[in-house]
Amino acid sequence: MNHEQRDARQKKIRNFSIIAHIDHGKSTLADRILETTRSLPEREMKDQMLDAMDLERERGITIKLNSVHLKYTHTDGEEYTFHLIDTPGHVDFSYEVSRSLAACEGALLIVDASQGIEAQTLANVYLAVDNDLEIIPVINKVDLPSAEPEKIKQEIEDVIGIDASDAVLASAKSGLGTDEVLKQIVEKIPAPSGNPEEPLQALIFDSIYDTYRGVIAYIRVIEGTIRPGEKIQMMQTGKEFEVSEVGVFTPKPVVCDELTVGDVGFMIASIKNVSDSRVGDTITHANKPAEKPLPGYKTMNPMVFCGMHPIDSNDYNALRDALERLELNDSSLQYEAESSQALGFGFRCGFLGLLHMEILQERIEREYGIGLITTAPSVVYNVYLTDGEVLEIDNPSKMPDQQKVDSVEEPFVKATVMVPNDFVGAVMDICQKKRGEFIDMQYMDENRVNIVYHLPLTEIVYDFFDQLKSNTKGYASFDYEFIGYRESNLVKMDILLNGEIVDALSVIVHRDFAYERGKSIVDKLKELIPRQQFEVPVQATIGNNVIARSNIKAMRKNVLSKCYGGDVTRKRKLLEKQKEGKRRMKSVGKVDVPQEAFMSVLRMDED
């Protein structure tokens, strides 16, 4: 390709992503766009094509990013190349969102015509604005009776401050407005700027690990051109590789000769580990490097930690293999071996947030078939000892003795809750109970309010979502960002079963809430731990003080009496099932404790 051809081609590229709240129709609109541009033969269309993993389909959320290369013939008769870059729809992954937005020149903002803007949407729109993206508002589900498109337009203008007069009125479900969306993409979103002859700068916005081909980096070329056979360098890690393949997703991967300015596609370079191909890193040529990397790179630090232990200790190696595999695909997952008296050998794992944690747990159980016991999640505490030493504690059982501790700091977040007027009281009530500090409250319109609190992260980890949902009938939407560490009056609470401390159940709590939490945990354990052949006392203690206690009564009767007409096979199956059930529990001292019990410290009883 010569200079002029490249230039002409570059002018017809449009890169965009879609920003939307869960359920506002992002995946459906993406499907319509794919359909309309005939990127997929109809027989290959499954609903919500971009959500590839089973887990994603089930949960209706996108976990891993995807990008698609599309051809669109505009009303001017010219053919345009679109790259649609999908973004994950959850707060845990906001860095990934920001990087994929950085790979675009524009974004479709989908807002539900009845629901309006949600906290999550707002956070992502700000990221888009931050990345200088052209935003095309799309008001979706306008065919529903409760739709109020004019009101939503006004809201977009008031809240985000962009012109919404040309907002597309759409129904992704029926296909209404799809053509208009495509038209606006061509007309409003600028073509990529940049020079194919300049030193290479390609942004990695995702990378996945493929068993056969190693790491596949999802990239956007900002400057320069990348071709197979070239030596490249990762500008953050300094590592060098040789490009073996480049290509685009249609959405099937299709190999091509080069990727140049504005192109979005993949690159394979015999990279063994995703940590060598980090999201946000810049790829350049080893022999003719760019002067500086693209801005915005961050190393992601896990915020939430929990212990993951195999139920069957023979699965320890299998669990390590699974984590190694998952880590290949997920550079923000951290883990290190730990051993718990109660749970045996396992791993302390760090995650970006709660959803990230749940997804990983589910994948290990589902894809690797390993039964897991996970402890309640914890945040990282800064512990200042009286001798001047400072410790970072991510496992409550590792908290030093009270006497040695001078002070403890915990992570705080700025939490933004968007909620209809009627629930303001309820939300403030929850935040107050969660040790929140009121910061701000803004009315978005007559009915909707944006409430801002500073909250300890640990309180968000501990049943905040559930409470928020149940107390606002599901209307509240919620987002948070880390703001820093603050000192708090925190103590370690131990849980004793049959007189022995179960390290995996220890929690760090605020002193003022210790009694309440202790009682709730003890009650929950009494409910979850089946009767044993002896009475089991359950206690919550702080230091040497018992603050709550209960007893699990001894098992009285467990014997099958029916004869089943001599059906011994059936009796055997019943006994096998019983035995299997016990195997799925963890013996702590002499007490058989079921899996759920270790998470129970998380959940409060409903009042």
Count of other CB atoms within 10 angstroms of residue 369: 10
Residue whose CB is less far from another protein, 231 or 573: 573
Residue 319 C-beta: closest distance to another protein, Å: 23
User: How far is Cα 105 from Cα 109, in angstroms, rounded to an integer?
Assistant: 13
Binding pattern to another protein, positions 152-191, x when CB under 8 A? ----------------------------------------
Q: Six-digit token pair at 66? A: 């995807």
Closest residue by Cα to residue 143 from 170, 165, 117, 166: 170
Nearer to another protein, 337 or 555 (CB): 555
Report how many residues bind another protein under the rule CB under 8 A: 27
Q: Considering the complex, state which of residue 361 and residue 532 has its C-beta at the smaller distance from another protein.
A: 532
Nearest to 374 by CA among 461, 467, 480, 497: 461
Provide the 3-class DSSP secondary structure of residue 59.
Answer: helix
- 251 token code pair: 């959405």
Spatial distance between the Cα atoms of 242 and 291, rounded to a whole number of angstroms: 20
Looking up tokens 């590839």 gives 52
CB 137 within 8 A of CB 164: yes
Burial 73-84 (b: 16+ CB within 10 A, else e): eeeeeeebbbbb
> What type of residue sits at position 68?
V
Find, among 264, 241, 262, 260, the residue nearest to 251 by Cα. 264
57 contacts another protein (rule: CB under 8 A): no
Residue type, 483: I
Residue 570 beta carbon to another protein: minimum distance, rounded to whole angstroms: 8
- Considering only residues 509 to 548 of the shown chain, the ones binding another protein according to CB under 8 A are 531, 533
Q: How far is the CB of 575 from another protein (least distance, A)?
A: 5
Interface pick for another protein out of 165, 563, 606, 607 (rule CB under 8 A): 563
Question: CB of 233: closest distance to another protein in angstroms?
Answer: 56
131 φ, ψ to 5°?
Answer: -90, 15
Q: What is the amino acid identity at position 143?
A: D
565 interacts with another protein by CB under 8 A:
yes
Site string for another protein, 334-353 (x = CB under 8 A): --------------------
Could you write out the DSSP letters of every residue in 2-48?
-HHHHHHHHHTEEEEEEEE-TTSSHHHHHHHHHHHTT-S-GGG--SS
606: contact with another protein by CB under 8 A: no
* Shortest distance in whole angstroms from residue 603 CB to another protein: 21
Report if residue 45 touches another protein, rule: CB under 8 A: no
Only one of the segments 152-160, 389-397, 423-431, 571-579 lies at the binding site for another protein (rule: CB under 8 A); that segment is 571-579
Residues 6+ apart with CB under 8 A from 436: 415, 453, 454, 455, 459
Q: Which is nearer to another protein, 5 or 558 (CB)?
A: 558
Element (H, E) at 605: none
Does 556 interact with another protein (rule: CB under 8 A)?
yes
In which residue are the tokens 């883990």 written? 335
Distance CA 350, CA 366 (A): 20
* Continuous H helices in 37-145: 54-59, 94-102, 119-130
Which stretch in 328-336, 365-373, 482-490, 562-570 sits in contact with another protein by CB under 8 A? 562-570
Minimum Å gap between C-beta 584 and another protein is 13
CB of 595 to another protein, least distance (A): 19
Nearer to another protein, 43 or 556 (CB): 556
* C-alpha 261: how far from chain center: 30
Which residues, at least 6 apart from 138, have a Cβ–Cβ distance to it below 8 Å? 29, 108, 109, 110, 111, 167, 168, 170, 177, 181
Name residues contacting another protein, limited to 347-386 (CB under 8 A). Answer: none
3-state secondary structure of 345: strand
Shortest Å distance, C-beta 310 to another protein = 19
Phi–psi pair at 282, nearest 5 degrees: -110, 130
Instruction: Verify binding: residue 43, another protein, rule CB under 8 A.
Output: no
In 3D, which of 550, 430, 415, 547 has the Cα closest to residue 491? 547
Q: Is 144 in the site for another protein (CB under 8 A)?
A: no
- Contact status: 561 vs another protein (CB under 8 A): yes
Closest alpha carbon to 517 in 330, 344, 376: 376
Report the residue number, 272 or 584, with the smaller CB distance to another protein. Answer: 584
Q: How far is the CB of 592 from another protein (least distance, A)?
A: 11
Is 146 an interacting residue with respect to another protein (CB under 8 A)?
A: no
SS3 417: strand
Tell me if 388 contacts another protein by CB under 8 A: no
User: Rg of the chain over CA atoms, in angstroms?
Assistant: 27
Tokens of 329: 């695909």
Of 255 and 575, which CB lies nearer to another protein in the complex structure?
575
Stretch that binds another protein, among 15-23, 55-63, 123-131, 566-574 (CB under 8 A): 566-574
Q: 404 or 553: whose CB is closer to another protein? A: 553
Stretch that binds another protein, among 145-153, 288-296, 378-386, 551-559 (CB under 8 A): 551-559
Q: Give the nearer residue to another protein in terms of CB position, either 43 or 579.
A: 579
* Residue 551 lies near another protein (rule: CB under 8 A): no
Task: Give the x/- contact pattern for another protein in 422-461, rule: CB under 8 A.
Answer: ----------------------------------------
Beta carbon of residue 528, minimum distance to another protein (angstroms, whole number):
16
Residue type, 415: A
Q: Which of 150, 128, 127 is nearest to 139 (CA)?
A: 150
- Smallest gap, in angstroms, from Cβ of residue 523 to another protein? 18
> In terms of CB distance, is 369 or 581 closer to another protein?
581
Site track 574-603 with another protein (rule: CB under 8 A), x = hit: xxx-xxx-x---------------------
Which residues make up the interface to another protein (CB under 8 A)?
A: 531, 533, 553, 555-569, 571-572, 574-576, 578-580, 582
